Amino acid sequence: MFNIIDTRNNQVVAQAFTFKEAKLMATKYRRSQYMRSTDWKLVAIKKKQEAPVKVYYSDENGCCDALRDRSLELYGRLHYR
């Protein structure tokens, strides 16, 4: 995931799943704020840190049962890199 950050007030204005989508959202935000081409560096795209992988243990044998689909669990949809 990527965060689109307005560096004027250090506020996250949007989130995107892919870098291509992040660039598009940043462009839309810049246009909505009427920024000139010289001020476009005020909006930054930064990669969000991923959460650690969750491990689920079964109660029956006390051993690691299986990892769930991490993409579906974290993002609510399939997430391709």
pLDDT in tens, the chain (81 residues): 899 999 999 999 999 999 999 999 999 999 999 988 888 889 999 998 776 666 555 445 444 434 445 555 666 555 554
Residue type, 66: A
User: For the chain, which residues make up each domain, given as ranges?
Assistant: 1-49, 50-81
Distance CA 27, CA 21 (A): 10
Strand pairing class (2-6; 43-47)? antiparallel
**pLDDT value at residue 62:** 42
Q: Using CB atoms within 10 Å of the CB of residue 76, give its burial: 0 to 12 exposed, 13 to 18 middle, 19+ buried.
A: exposed
Distance CA 11, CA 74 (A): 22
Distance CA 74, CA 53 (A): 10
